[in-house]
Amino acid sequence: MRPQGISWGTGVAVAIAVFLAGVATLVTIALRQDVSLVQDQYYDAGQRYDLRLQAMQRAQSLAVPLTIDVGAGELIIGYPRTGPPGSTMGTVTLYRPSSRALDRRVAVAPDTGWRQSLPIAPLQPGLWRVQVEWTTNGTEYYVEQPLVIQ
How many domains in the chain? 1
| Domain presence at residue 144 | yes
Q: List the CATH number of the domain containing 74.
A: 2.60.40.10
Q: Is residue 94 part of a domain?
A: yes
Range 129-149 average pLDDT: 91
Domain membership of residue 47 (yes or no) is yes
Give a yes or no: residue 3 inside a domain: no
Please tell me whether the overall predicted TM-score, pTM, comes out greater than 0.75 for this model.
Answer: no
> How far is the C-alpha of 10 from the C-alpha of 8, rounded, in Å?
5
62-98, pLDDT tens digit by residue? 998 999 998 888 999 998 887 776 778 899 999 988 8
At 20-34, the pLDDT tens digits run 999 999 999 998 887
Instruction: Give percent of the chain above pLDDT 70.
Output: 92
CB 133 within 8 A of CB 91: yes
Residue 111 located in a structural domain: yes
Quick check: is 1 in a domain? Answer: no
Does the residue 65 lie in any domain?
A: yes
Structural domain span for residue 81: 42-149
Residue 92, C-beta contacts closer than 8 angstroms, at least 6 positions apart: 77, 105, 106, 107, 108, 116, 118, 130, 131, 132
In a domain, 5, yes or no: no
